[in-house]
Every structure is written in C-alpha cells, then in structure tokens.
Amino acid sequence: MINKLLIANRGEIAVRIIRTCKEMGIKTVAVYSTVDKGSLHTAKADESVCIGPPASKDSYLSRNNLIAAALKTKCGAIHPGVGFLSENADFVRSVRQEGLVFIGPSPEIIEMLGDKVKARTAAVKFGLPVTPGTQDVVADNALELVKGIGFPVIIKAAAGGGGKGMRIVRREADLEENIRIARSEAFANFGEERVFIERFVEKPRHVELQILADGKGKVAVLGERDCSVQKNHQKLIEESPSPGVTDAMRGQMKIGAVNMFRELGYCGAGTIEFLVEDGVFYFMEVNARVQVEHPVSECVSGVDIIRQQILACTENTLEIDGSDGGDCHVRLSGWAIECRINALSPGRVTKLAVPGGIGVRFDTFLSEGCLVPPYYDSMVGKLIVHAANRAQALAKMERALSELVIEGIRTNRMQQEYIIKEKTFRSGGFDTSYYGSIAKEVEHV
C-alpha cells in the first residue's frame, strides 16, 4: 500500500478523496492555484503545494508542475479526480515514467476509450449495440454516408466530450456547414478535428453503469444511474436506479459491460454510458475515471468507490465478493438521488447551512468565508439523499434542499427544488429533452 498520495485536482472531489485516504491511513498532498490557497481541500490535506496562477493551463492542467509537486513531497501515487487531466494518456505516461502510481487505467486504455470511434468498435466486439453511424468523416463524402443512416443525425468530436464539438443536423442542406463548425470546435477544445456521425436518438434516457475492476479480470457493477436531467448536455440531477430501465435491460447492459472491462484488463473505476429509447439501449461512451455522480452508486451499494479505486490501482484487488476472473456480487438497496449545486456567480460565501438527517450527504468544498472563483467549473457541491424507495427519496431531497442555505453567491438551489417538485420529473417519465421542456419556468424561479 502507498503511504502518500497527491490529488491532482481541486474543489469537492479533492475533499472527497482526502476523506477516504484518511480512513485508509494514506497521507495526502493537495495542490492549489494562487486563487485557491484558502480552499477547503488545502486545509484538510496533510500537505499542500502551490502549482501556479489561477488559469487552469498554468496550474491544474500543468503536467510538469503536478509531477514536480508529487516528487517534491515524496508521494507514491497521483489521483487525478475528475476533469482536468483525469483522462489524459500523456499525463499518465509521464506519471508512470517517474515511478509513480496513477490511480486509473493504463494510458493505452484511456487513449482507446477516449477515441469515440475506437470505443464504438470495441463495444460492438463485446456485444454492445451502437447507434447506426460512420467512422471518421470527411466533408466531400459525408452526405453519401449520412444517406445510409437517415436524418436527423448528430456530429460528434472523436476525441471529445461534454457537448463540445457536437452538432445536431436535421436537413441535408445544413450538413456541410455543421461538419465545418464541429471540426472547428473539436480542434479548439481537443486539439484534434476528427468527427464522426451517428443517427440522432431524439428523446433518449441517459443511463450509465458504475464499474470497478481490478485489472486481473474481477469486475463489479454497482448498478446504473439515470442522468437524463441535463442542461446543454451538462448533468443536473442523477439517480440510482433508473426509473426507465427494466430488469431484463439491466441484465443485458451488465453482461456487455463486464465482458468489455474484463477483456480490456481495465483497472480502477469507470463508467459505461448508454442511450435508452423505447426499450432499446445503445452504447455511447466510456469515462475512464470516477464520475462526479459516483455518490449515488455508493449509497445504493454501500461501497466506497474511491477506496476500491485506490486498492485496484495500487494492490490489484477489490474488497468485493467474487473470485478472480469472475463477476462480483454487489447487493443494491434503496434509491439515491443527487442534485448538483452550481454557482451562478462568483464571490465569497457569507453564510452556509448544510442539511442533515438520516440518508442525507452534502459533498462540497464550501465553508463560510471561502471564495468561489470564476475560473473553474461552476459546481460547488452535490446534495445526495438515500431512502427505501423513489417516493421517499424525493421527499427527503425536497426537505434537504429547503434546508440548504448558501449566501454571498447565487446558486441553482431553487431551480433544483422546482424540478424535484415538478410532476413529470416525479412521475419518472422524463428523458434528455425534459429540461428544455421546462426551461422557461425553471429559469424564472
């Protein structure tokens, strides 16, 4: 077991990782930009190191600064958290070249799964259905390729994610211009302009499986999460299990996912994402890291995902029943819901009151007097509840949101409260188009 670990991230995920490391007896090193000097993760870690000015490219995205900080503080491993360099294969190679353990899969697997075209090919190999689509697209034969798929289609960056380099096209006349725009966006965001095209699934649910694997063939599936409530492709609310997944579908998803992660020799935490429509599911992508929404899977499974991720990557083991090379048996219980709390303005938090009670959890980096800077992701916390069933979880979330007080900055707390009370959401009959259908109402709350 490693003795000390550097967390190459900030905010609530850094605090989350520190807590598990303390329980495991692992010392932690926090890194911070100059604007994050007083942030909660720096106070909770055993040591902290400044890695640069506020701009991400000069601090949290600086591979050299991060590795230098790990070596200087004599760490044995680096945990990338979420975002930033968590799925950067070159960073992983650099970490390993210095003799450090990377808490995540190999650079080769990250590279393959990060290329959506290669990931689609792998999914088909392991028996997972994909939407009809193309390989890499070139503008001069795109129309011919698309005619075999049928409109509407969606153009996606091969090396991208987060909705960037993504364009929906409904008419033949709009295809060429949207390919040009998507290529430009892909290059600007990912340094690579390759795009591919899929049939656009109009109103799917966004469902994902939480996976843990030890790199030796043991694979655990911690149930599925429904992430269909999204604004501009950014998730707002996640829950487990999904109201729209049947036991039969769940079983089919699991078989394909386990086969894929086992055959790849995957090590650590990962998420396989699907689109679900009319009882049919399609592979979308794999996130080769822990996800922001992992707490809902922790609640229904009772498994500390960060702990198992660290054990898998440092000891090639999982503390989950199941023989090497075989399926793990994880008992799932109850219903969990997570609301992402986003800052709508930067500023200093003047008052913070955190909800409590049985089955209520708030993962955050906020504290009274702390600064929420304008340079990074807007999410400042995650409110998670767990109850026996969905109706009780909704009631618990409604109560918890009403108790949450964050003053000094504007947040989306009231908008989340509106959604939790809204009849279509409460019915469970929603899909990825849901937020757009209530946007006018919710944004005037």
Q: Note the pLDDT tens digit of each residue in 24-37.
A: 999 999 999 999 99
Question: Regarding the domain delimited by 4-103, which CATH topology (the fold level of the hierarchy) does it fall under?
Answer: Rossmann fold (3.40.50)
Q: Which CATH class is domain 205-442?
A: alpha beta
Distances (CA, A) of 49 to 15, 59, 69, 70: 15, 11, 7, 9
Instruction: Name the strand (E) or helix (H) holding 419.
Output: helix 413-421
CA–CA separation, 379 vs 99, rounded Å? 33
Same fold, 4-103 and 132-199: no
Q: What per-residue confidence (pLDDT) applies to 47?
A: 98
For residue 324, the model assigns a pLDDT of: 42
Residue 167 CA to residue 153 CA, distance in Å, equals 8
Please tell me whether residue 430 adopts helix, strand or coil conformation.
Answer: coil
Prediction pTM value: 0.94
Contact predicate 58/72, CB 8 Å: no
pLDDT class of 137 with cuts at 50, 70, 90: confident
Q: Could you tell me which CATH number the domain at 132-199 has? A: 3.30.1490.20
Judge whether 214 and 265 are in contact, CB under 8 Å. no
The 8-class DSSP code of residue 255 comes to: H
Phi/psi for 91 (5° steps) reads -65, -45
Per-domain boundaries in the chain: 4-103, 132-199, 205-442
Residues belonging to the active site = 289
For the chain, first and last CA: distance in Å?
Answer: 50
By the 10 Å C-beta count (0-12 exposed, 13-18 middle, 19+ buried), 93 is classed as middle
- 320-378 per-position pLDDT tens digit: 975 444 467 799 999 999 999 999 999 999 999 999 999 999 999 999 999 999 999 99
If we measure between CA atoms, which residue out of 409, 1, 102, 413 comes closest to residue 236?
413
Say what angle helices 63-72 and 89-97 make with each other, to 10 degrees: 30
Give the contacts of 366 (CB within 8 A, at least 6 positions apart). 40, 349, 352, 372, 380, 381, 406
The encoded tokens of residue 198 equal: 């899929």
**b/e map of 404-426 (b: 16 or more CB within 10 Å)?**
bebebbebbbebbbbbbebeebe
Dihedral in degrees, nearest 10, Cα atoms 98, 101, 103, 108: 70
* pLDDT tens-digit series, residues 65-100: 999 999 999 999 999 999 999 999 999 999 999 999
Which pLDDT score, from 0 to 100, does residue 188 have?
87
The pLDDT confidence band at residue 162, using thresholds 50, 70 and 90, is: low
